Structure 1
Amino acid sequence: MKRLPDFLAQQHDARDPNPWLALYLDQSTPLPDPVKQAWLTDSSSMSRQFLLPFVRPLARTLIVLIQIAKVVVPRRWSASRTLHWLLAEGLKRLVSPEANWLVMRHFHLGSQILAFVAKNAPSQVTTSPLTPMVLDDLKDDLFLKHDLNLFNFVIRLNQALRESDQTLVPVREPDFSMIEEPPLALDDLPQGLLNKIDLQTAIECFTPIYQLFLTDNDFWRAANSLQLDETIGIYCATILDAPQHLILLNNKHPLVPLSTLRAGYRLVVHGLSTEMLHALLVQMKAQQAARRSRDAAA
């Protein structure tokens, strides 16, 4: 059995309260306990405490230097397959199991959320779900496909709505059939001696690598796809008629592009926002099922 993280294993000391325990016990943000435990275990690691402060400024310096270098590199040069091989191998060999679990979950959750919007939209729109089961599945250009899927979905949805002269509206009984927990087990992820790097440090390291092996246009699009958090959040809030749940989205206005220097931090926020939105949909699906069960019994 996996050892409990220190913030759960230790006794609470009122004279020296553990901040990670406070965040874990707090229920103001919608996250299931296993996800919150994995997130906080990763966030409270020594890697994040001692390695991230050194890695982050170096990574941002590299982003600037690579941007300068790309002035003389052919505009269409890229090596996406090499990039995704490096990312998948880096995750397998160096990154913590909690971080890898959260990365793998993200593809499933994002696909389910887009499917939820598509299913409850008044106009038909197709989606392209990404559901990797092992880290090697990421080698099939999955990070790039994830960014493309998001922009393509927004374009297709709004083209369909415009053509039919319709808009998203609240749905009295939303279809939650696609919302479920991904079939991914944390214990199945690599747990070698070197699998210690936390999620935020890994993302900061991978961001300049991502920039190096993609075209400038691909990297810019990937960075700015993070600003569509509000867009997808608004779609879901409209369908659910629950605008109050937008309060924790803070990747800023999608019409105001931000510098790529903070792409690593914004990607972490994007991942957490996706987890919380999915958790909210899981809760509402359960509430709908309970209500229908009561109505049937009555």
Structure 2
Amino acid sequence: MPDRGTAARSGAERPGPEEFVHTGLVFRSLRALADAVVPVVRAAHREGGRILVVLGDVEREAVSTVLPPPLRRAAEFRPRSAFYTAPGRTLAALHRLARSSPGRPVTVVGQPVLPEGDPLALDEWRLLDSVLNLALARHRIRLFCVHDAGAVPAAALDGVWRTHPTVSDGGGPRPSPRYRTPDALGAELAARPLAPLGEPAHRIRISADLGALRAEVARLAARLEVPGGRAEDLVVAVNELAANVLEHGAGRGTVALWRRDGRVVCDVFDEAGGLTDPLGGYRVGGALGARGHGLWITRQVCDFMEVRGGPGGSLVRVHLRL
């Protein structure tokens, strides 16, 4: 059996016709960034592919000014703040991008969000970077994730090597010796308990009447002064997760709500412990049936979603920025 490095190297050198290629691109100057991106755009244009560039303002200007006019016209430039809003929504956008270009290769040069002062957000964006290798495995996308070595925290930069099969760090792409598969990274997260939040502001028993549950969550969201759009997202998330408890779990559980640190946080507890996969809601393609579909929706309406489970039950915690 080939080792992990050999597998990554073979995939990087000989991508199949429907294979996802995921490269971390670490740069130390804007000139180095431009020097790395221009050949990528040129190669994608030569093969008639769709090209998407999603960078910060400064980085986008550095790249666009050195692109020859034909390449600049061929590339679609999108604002980073609109594309990297939440991990689940970013994955959904990439999935739609792949499906909207059947038979045509897609190249994306993107600059993911790696927040320094928010450990939860950093973990969740790192998990997305890892799970892309699984969720988009059968799509013809070449994704180059660019990271500024001078601005990205050291811990986050280490995560680039752990979540990308290949990394380019000034000397061309090469297999990452520290790469971890999505399932391996998920197992690491599963072993870490969720942070204690103290006594919730509200707790609700899950019943078979989902309409009544939605109304109660909407009422409690208003009491917590959750803005209208975010309150609707919260209601959708709780409905999907409670439906999972009723249809696929123990049929018994609770919903707990907090408002803290500029977010509303919601725990949905299932007295059965069947849901244990931290990658739940990221596995595109219906492998988990209706349950997977509900988690996929929840990933998109929330900003972050954490999953833990065991013999004592399953817990899904969702976070919505206010």
TM-score range, shorter chain: under 0.3
State the TM-score, normalizing by the size of structure 1: 0.27
State the TM-score, normalizing by the size of structure 2: 0.25
Q: Which has the higher strand share?
A: 2
Q: Which has the higher helix share?
A: 1
Higher relative contact order (CA 8 A, sep 6+): 1
